[in-house]
Amino acid sequence: MDLSNQKRLAADLCKCSPKRIRFDEDRLEDIKEAITKVDIRGLINDNAITKLNKRGVSRVRARKRLVQRRKGKQKGPGARKGSRGARLTSKRAWINKVRAQRQLLNALKGKTIDKKLYRELYLKSKGGFFRSKRHIKIHLEERVKK
């Protein structure tokens, strides 16, 4: 039974592609007899002819990738588009480094180091003397040995 004409008319009425038109299997006889747009419209209202939802782009892969990225994966050279400076500006890197160092010095103040030494190390940190928190710890160990 050829229902391509009915499918075309239904697609026109639903303002979609004929691919998205579905006929109810139990009402195929009624659909076959419908030859005008008015007949088809009546069948659409009776749910004998239905319009399928649009197919979208699945986000499953994108979500999976995002989970991996949050774990720190998939960030190798092949995934990078910007230069090192564009991904993390030198200023932002400096801010992160100095904040971490100041946090460490604050934690050590009063316990391991006195106020005077704290101030000295703080100013050295501010001046860019230390490369990292680890460098501060190594510096302190050497100072204690002397």
- Tell me the pLDDT tens digit for each residue of 37-87: 999 999 999 999 999 999 899 999 999 999 999 999 999 999 999 999 999
Cβ pair 130, 120 in contact under 8 A: no
The answer on pLDDT for 119 being more than 80 is yes
Report the distance separating Cα 29 and Cα 36, nearest Å.
15
The answer on pLDDT for 11 being more than 90 is yes
* Residue whose entry in the numeric block shows the structure tokens 């659409």: 44
Confidence of residue 143 (pLDDT cuts 50, 70, 90): confident
Cβ pair 125, 101 in contact under 8 A: yes
Cβ pair 118, 108 in contact under 8 A: yes
Report the candidate in 13, 38, 52, 22 with the shortest Cα–Cα distance to residue 3: 22
DSSP code per residue over 59-98: -HHHHHHHHHHHTT-S-SGGG--S-HHHHS-HHHHHHHHH
Cβ pair 31, 3 in contact under 8 A: yes
Res 13: pLDDT: 95
Q: From the CB of residue 101, how many other CB atoms can be counted at a distance below 10 Å?
A: 22
Res 1: pLDDT: 80
Res 43: pLDDT: 95
Q: Which two tokens stand for residue 135?
A: 């460098």
Instruction: Report all structural domains of the chain as residue ranges with CATH numbers, in order of start.
Output: 4-51 (1.10.1650.10), 85-145 (1.10.1200.60)
Confidence of residue 123 (pLDDT cuts 50, 70, 90): very high
Judge if pTM exceeds 0.85.
no
Report the distance separating Cα 106 and Cα 104, nearest Å.
5
